[in-house]
Amino acid sequence: MEIKRVVFNPFRENTYLVWDDSQECIVIDAGNMNDGENRILAEMISSRGLKPVMAVNTHGHFDHTGGVQWLKDEYGAQFACSSKDRAIIDASAGGMVYGIKCSEVPAIDVDLDAVSELRFGNTVLRVIKTPGHTPGHVVLFNEDSRVLFTGDTLFRESIGRTDLPGGDYSWIMKSIIEEILPLGDDVTIYPGHEAESTIGHESLYNPFIVEVLNDEINYRG
């Protein structure tokens, strides 16, 4: 499995192009929002001879969904996201609050709340439900490569915001402690913003995790 990251939009969101030797690919959290960013992603795809089959979203915030309609129009890619985030997607015209024009986001083709894995080419991604940043947030795990796409649940030495509509601190910490950490210290995480990390690094240096592991905070409330 090959991974290429590109940073899009004013929120410096990480969009991931993921493919294997079948030349089928998916785009995780397509944050491209304008013609220039569309051209960058199109060049990444065409230069590698790839066929996009799916736009996969870890969650429904507008800085992660800006390119979904373009991928569907340009390549016929299916849209995969949790139906629990549909209300957030529909409210994502909220990007106008920041002076950003947001494109329409199409209907969900693959409900990530209803499946346990995604397949493309020769690759399998396990879909793990991690509510907290949003109600329908998921992370995507590839066992063979020991890679986890964490969206806005877990960042390098930080976690996703829980003060936005649908956010919940106790749920995001439960997701991290009970769903993500058990995957193993050697797993590389590719987050929705900023640099990659590992689960082992976060267990040692992420202050939100350390205070829970040291029983300084009871995330269960």
pLDDT score, position 91: 78
What is the per-residue pLDDT for 94? 54
Separation between Cα atoms, residue 133 and residue 137, nearest integer Å: 7
- Nearest 5°: the CA angle 69, 74, 80 is 45
Query: What single DSSP character describes residue 97?
Result: G
Q: Is the predicted pLDDT of residue 127 greater than 90, yes or no?
A: yes
Q: At 95, is the pLDDT very low, low, confident or very high (cuts 50, 70, 90)?
A: low
Question: Is 57:65 a contact under the CB 8 Å cutoff?
Answer: yes
Residue ranges and CATH numbers for the domains of the chain are 2-213 (3.60.15.10)
**Mind listing the pLDDT tens digit for each residue in 158-173?**
999 999 999 999 999 9
pLDDT per residue as tens digits for the range 176-220: 999 999 999 999 999 999 999 999 999 999 999 999 999 998 888
Please report the DSSP string for 55-77 in residue order. EE-SS--HHHHTTHHHHHHHH--
